[in-house]
Amino acid sequence: GENVEQHPSTLSVQEGDSAVIKCTYSDSASNYFPWYKQELGKRPQLIIDIRSNVGEKKDQRIAVTLNKTAKHFSLHITETQPEDSAVYFCAASMDQPGNQFYFGTGTSLTVIP
Amino acid sequence: KAGVTQTPRYLIKTRGQQVTLSCSPISGHRSVSWYQQTPGQGLQFLFEYFSETQRNKGNFPGRFSGRQFSNSRSEMNVSTLELGDSALYLCASNRDGDQETQYFGPGTRLLVL
């Protein structure tokens, strides 16, 4: 089955700096890659996603890039703010019935004011 | 629309007992997925139900089971609880399943003593 690895597990940045989180996947059949943000004590919430027919997608300060050949995708947060502090999860899924998402183990991002 | 709800929010059980957790999806959503979240392991897929049918199952022992009712509400059951079953159990819903945005519930935190 699919295996998603996520790095780093923890990340501290100064407010205003950029943060990058990287994920790799093993199964070339995966074609949908969402990113979730989970604040302490709250539920995961989708922040951005990308499909395999697109190389990059941006939404304000957040961007995701996908390299299908290398089987990796990354989350980029620019101009970080303290409210960006949370755990971020990447995930991958294939286009098949059953809606199974394979998640990375999470990155705990701390933005230092 | 009301979000995904889960009951109970917190639960304490002892080894050997069984437990039933409930998830009510967003109105109109027919797919419900269940995940186990533990520190260091991230979110691990348990199973997914769509129109009362289990379409996909993760790599968990048979002690973990679930079902879905005609109103799309879902329950998961864990029998013969073990200490290692202590975790946050999250359910997520979306309309039709495959590769759509998943909306997570707040989770049920289970502690097995």
pLDDT digits (tens, 9 = 90+) for A21-74: 999 999 999 999 999 999 998 999 999 999 888 899 999 999 999 999 999 999
Contacting residues of A for B102, CB less than 8 Å apart: 34, 46, 99, 101
CA angle A107, A47, A59 (to 5 degrees): 115
Name the DSSP class of A82. Answer: G
If 0-12 CB within 10 Å is exposed, 13-18 middle and 19+ buried, where does residue B44 land?
A: middle
Task: Compute the 3-state secondary structure of chain A and give helix, strand, coil in percent, each to the nearest 5.
Answer: 5, 60, 40
Given an 8 Å threshold on Cβ–Cβ distance, is A105 in contact with B107? no
**In a 3-state reduction of DSSP, which class is residue A35?**
strand
Given an 8 Å threshold on Cβ–Cβ distance, is B102 in contact with A95? no
Contacting residues of A for B44, CB less than 8 Å apart: 103
The per-residue pLDDT for B96 is 76
Q: Are A106 and B88 in contact (CB under 8 A)?
A: no
Contacting residues of A for B101, CB less than 8 Å apart: 34, 46, 49
- Residue among A42, A99, A106 minimizing CB distance to B56: A99
- pLDDT tens string, chain B, 113 residues long: the values are 689 999 999 999 999 999 999 999 999 999 999 999 998 778 999 999 999 999 989 999 999 999 999 999 999 999 999 999 999 999 999 887 556 788 999 999 999 99
What is the count of residue pairs from A and B with beta carbons less than 8 Å apart?
72
- Residue among B33, B35, B42 minimizing CB distance to A105: B42
Give the containing element (helix H, strand E) for B15: none
